């Protein structure tokens, strides 16, 4: 497969190859889809979703470049959160282009409308021919040197508080649970993951919407606090529950949006005003948001709709220190551990 990714972007990725003592997470620009590559201090890797199919192999190419630049020879675990097209991508093409050792999913397809089977069946054929597992809440994905806990899968969430969690969430009393959105069943099939390295914690719920988020943090917060929140549903308003954001008390939000997808203007004040929030980083400038509903330019990987696929890189240490870097301009910011 010919990969048409920019040479300069590859050079930047190589220069940012992970140090042995850090957790390295690259939020790959898949134009409003999802693909996040995490490499543990042991060197084992987890790719969370595969972006979009088509586009002349654009997203497969960007994933492969990111994996190679991280020094990987294989992806140890490919986790497909759910079967929407912007997350499922083209798994047959990806596996043909770069070795994948295991596939993780939420189980068999349950959403049978809108042509889901035609894109699910090629994925399932590849999955069934290799080591794979379907996960449920409370399961662990066995990455050496990193705790990866399944928080949500197939509309089911953890029911027992994680260690250190379980406190009442005051936001619940003032914020009613939103109704489940008709027609969005597949979003809510999402696998949600909590990554823990020592004192550092990162939450990624993929496309889990507000109705199901509520169950995880109301009346009690079963997750606890985190350092980094990979914003649900690309920053669309339907992923803003108003109770998750104050419960997790994230210091940094990272939004895998596109220029014209996600980053909804109503989402911005909810994130910006969440307790503990220091900064929001975005893969794209939200065209709908305007200056008032986007972070400063240094915190945005791609400013133009016709972008070059720039990424955001998170480097975290076990003491809770982490750094976010923008590949577009080299801007980075380090966050010291909480007191």
Residue 75 lies in a domain: yes
Residue 228 lies in a domain: yes
Whole-number pLDDT of residue 338? 87
Whole-number pLDDT of residue 9? 42
Residue 99 lies in a domain: yes
Residue 39 lies in a domain: yes
* Domain of residue 174, residue span: 7-318
Beta-sheet pairing, 23-27 with 36-39 = antiparallel
CA-nearest of 256, 220, 227, 260 to 239 is: 256
Chain-centre distance for alpha carbon 107: 19
pLDDT in tens, 303-331: 998 878 999 999 999 999 999 999 999 99
CATH of the domain at 183: 3.60.15.10
Residue 260 lies in a domain: yes
Task: Judge whether residue 339 has pLDDT over 90.
Answer: no
- E strands, 208-287, in order: 228-230, 252-255, 279-284
Whole-number pLDDT of residue 16? 42
Residue 120 lies in a domain: yes
Residue 339 lies in a domain: no
Distance CA 312, CA 255 (A): 10
CA torsion sign for 51, 56, 62, 65 is positive
Residue 333 lies in a domain: no
- Per the structure, the count of domains in the chain is 1
CA torsion sign for 78, 81, 84, 86 is negative
């Amino acid at each position: 497969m010919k990969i048409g990714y920019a040479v300069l972007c590859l050079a930047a990725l190589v220069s940012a190859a992970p140090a042995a003592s850090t957790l390295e997470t690259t939020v790959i620009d898949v134009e409003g889809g999802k693909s996040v590559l995490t490499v543990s201090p042991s060197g084992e890797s987890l790719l969370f979703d595969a972006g979009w199919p088509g586009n002349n192999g654009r997203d497969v190419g960007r994933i492969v470049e990111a994996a190679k630049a991280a020094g990987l020879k294989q992806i140890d675990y490919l986790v497909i959160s759910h079967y929407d097209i912007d997350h499922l991508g083209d798994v047959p093409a990806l596996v043909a282009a770069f070795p994948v050792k295991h596939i993780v999913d939420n189980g068999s397809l349950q959403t049978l409308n809108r042509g889901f089977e035609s894109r699910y069946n090629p994925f399932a054929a590849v999955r069934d021919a290799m080591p794979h597992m379907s996960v449920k809440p409370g399961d662990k994905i066995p990455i050496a040197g990193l705790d990866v806990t399944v928080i949500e899968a197939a509309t089911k969430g953890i029911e027992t508080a994680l260690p250190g969690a379980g406190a009442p969430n005051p936001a619940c009393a003032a914020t009613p649970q939103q109704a489940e959105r008709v027609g969005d069943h597949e979003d809510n099939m999402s696998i949600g993951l909590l990554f823990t390295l020592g004192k550092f914690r990162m939450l990624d719920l993929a496309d889990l919407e507000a109705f199901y988020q509520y169950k995880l943090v109301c009346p009690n917060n079963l997750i606890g606090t985190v350092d980094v929140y990979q914003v649900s549903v690309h920053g669309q308003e339907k992923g803003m529950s108003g109770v998750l954001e104050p419960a997790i008390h994230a210091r940094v939000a990272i939004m895998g949006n596109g220029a014209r997808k996600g980053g909804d203007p109503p989402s911005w004040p909810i994130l910006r005003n969440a307790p503990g929030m220091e900064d929001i980083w975005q893969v794209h400038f939200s065209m709908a948001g305007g200056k008032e509903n986007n972070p400063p330019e240094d915190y945005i990987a791609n400013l133009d709709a016709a972008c070059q696929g720039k990424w955001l890189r998170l480097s975290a240490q076990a003491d809770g220190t982490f750094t976010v870097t923008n590949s577009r301009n080299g801007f980075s910011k380090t966050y010291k551990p909480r007191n």
